[in-house]
């Protein structure tokens, strides 16, 4: 049988139930979620899901409260692969991709919003826990791979800046990368593949 040592991963976790959340906690399952599904799926979810299902849908905060490791992903190229975009959507949960500035947006299931640090954890510690690399990645401290970026704005003090901040430096294993950080950095969602709200198919830079 499956045990917590196996670290089973359940991907997407869009529509769950109390029984499934309880089972995930018991098995030590990792929830691999895509926060940018929220502004995409709110176009149809309230029309298609019965109200009793809403409580357990896109419930990232509820999963964390139940002791479940929640890792952040993108499902790219269906959504933007930018972790900054994913963090923004986890924190503010806007009901569309035409978000204004976070606090003034209409929020989908406000109780499921994450704090900045919870959202950061999705893409650092928990993501590396899911890939079993948490003993050498996901932190900035001695003994860990120095994989990090430097941003041009203080997004921790004002998470709304996640929409407009630019990456000024990229470090991989302690060495500064020569990646071009002056090019346009796209934080918006991709036009969707067929089956996800649209017929257009093309790729877009993420960072």
Per-residue pLDDT of the chain (207 residues; tens, 9 = 90+): 889 999 999 999 999 999 999 999 999 999 999 999 999 998 888 889 998 899 999 999 999 999 999 999 998 888 888 999 999 999 999 988 765 565 556 889 999 999 999 999 999 999 999 999 999 999 999 999 999 999 999 999 999 999 999 999 999 999 999 877 665 545 444 444 444 555 444 444 454
**List of residues 6+ apart from 40 with CB closer than 8 A:** 79, 97, 189, 192, 196, 197
Q: What is the pLDDT of residue 207?
A: 46
**Cβ-proximal residues to 195 (8 Å cutoff; 6+ apart), any chain:** none
> What is the SS3 assignment for 160?
helix
- In the prediction, which pLDDT does 194 show? 46
Supply the pLDDT for residue 76: 87
Task: Please tell me the predicted confidence (pLDDT) of residue 193.
Answer: 46
Q: Residue 192: is it exposed, middle or buried by C-beta count within 10 angstroms (0-12/13-18/19+)?
A: middle
pTM: 0.86
Residue recorded with tokens 């993501």: 127
Q: What are the tens digits of pLDDT across the range 47-103?
A: 899 988 999 999 999 999 999 999 999 988 888 889 999 999 999 999 887 655 655
Please name the residue that has the structure tokens 């950095």.
Answer: 185
Alpha-carbon distance values, 141 to 35, 39, 92 (Å):
27, 34, 29
Adjacent-strand bridge partners of 71? 32
Angle, CA 15 vertex, CA 9 and CA 21 arms, to 5°: 55
Q: How far is CA 2 from CA 8, 17, 21, 27, 127, in A?
A: 8, 20, 16, 7, 20
Helices (H) and strands (E) in the chain, counts: 8, 6
């Amino acid at each position: 049988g499956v045990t917590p040592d196996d670290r089973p991963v359940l991907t997407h976790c869009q529509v769950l139930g109390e029984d499934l959340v309880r089972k995930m906690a018991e098995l030590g399952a990792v929830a691999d979620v895509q926060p940018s599904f929220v502004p995409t799926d709110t176009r149809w979810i309230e029309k298609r899901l019965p109200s009793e299902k809403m409580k357990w849908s896109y419930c990232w905060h509820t999963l964390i409260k139940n002791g479940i490791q929640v890792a952040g992903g993108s499902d790219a190229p269906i959504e933007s692969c930018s972790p900054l975009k994913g963090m923004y959507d986890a924190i503010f949960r806007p009901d569309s991709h035409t978000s204004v500035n976070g606090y003034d947006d209409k929020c989908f299931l406000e109780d499921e919003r994450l704090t900045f640090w919870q959202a950061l954890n999705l893409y650092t510690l928990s993501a590396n826990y899911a890939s079993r690399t948490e003993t050498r990645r996901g932190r900035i401290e001695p003994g860990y791979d120095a994989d990090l970026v430097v941003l041009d704005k203080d997004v921790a003090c004002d998470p709304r800046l996640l929409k407009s901040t630019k990456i000024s430096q990229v470090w991989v294993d302690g060495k500064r990368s020569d990646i071009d950080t002056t090019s346009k950095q796209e934080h918006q969602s991709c036009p969707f593949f067929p089956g996800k709200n649209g017929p257009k198919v093309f790729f877009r830079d993420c960072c």
